[in-house]
Amino acid sequence: MQKIEFGVGFLVFMISFSFVIYSLLSFDYERGEPLEGEVLLETFLKDKGYPENWDSSNVEKIGLASSPNILNKEKVEELMKMEYKDVKEILKIEGNFRIVLDSENYKFTYGKEIPQLKNVKKFERPIIIDNELGRFYLYYW
């Protein structure tokens, strides 16, 4: 009886272990997209950039925050003035992205058109901009 219980327990363990390994291996970390998208999101929402009061003419590192998840409206407007290819170069990213910022009085869209692909990653965070609660969406592929 103990051999049967041990066998069933071992079988359940192996199935569970196989599922975990399969899940980890099937995630697309090899291409760096999920990690790069998450890093990009953190850069936009938590970093002030460099120099701290950067504008489109002197930016060395892009960050839109004045505090974590509180966006600086002037930096967002400066980003809108910049060419997409220049922004990608400063951010040092390989993939493409689109930002959508939405609050009651402020709408902002920047980046490439979102393709109809399965591998587009969507990140969404609440933000504050110009003393308004809003949503920040990052699409990355």
At 20-60, the pLDDT tens digits run 565 555 544 445 545 888 999 999 999 999 999 999 999 99
pLDDT tens across 103-117, in order? 999 999 999 999 998
Q: Which residue has the higher pLDDT, 67 or 118?
A: 67
- Is 9's pLDDT higher than 90? no
Q: Where are the domains of the chain?
A: 32-140
Distance between CA 29 and CA 100 in Å, rounded?
A: 25
Q: Which residue has the higher pLDDT, 62 or 3?
A: 62
Q: What percent of the chain has pLDDT over 70?
A: 82
pTM: predicted TM-score of the whole model, two decimal places = 0.74
Distance between CA 60 and CA 54 in Å, rounded?
A: 8
**Phi and psi dihedrals of 101, rounded to 5?**
-115, 125
Q: Do residues 33 and 141 make contact, with C-beta atoms less than 8 angstroms apart? A: yes
- Is 137's pLDDT higher than 50? yes
Report the pLDDT value the prediction gives residue 111, as an integer from 0 to 100: 97
Report the pLDDT value the prediction gives residue 63, as an integer from 0 to 100: 97
Length of the chain: 141
Q: Do residues 84 and 103 make contact, with C-beta atoms less than 8 angstroms apart? A: no
Sign of the torsion angle spanned by Cα atoms 107, 109, 115, 120? negative
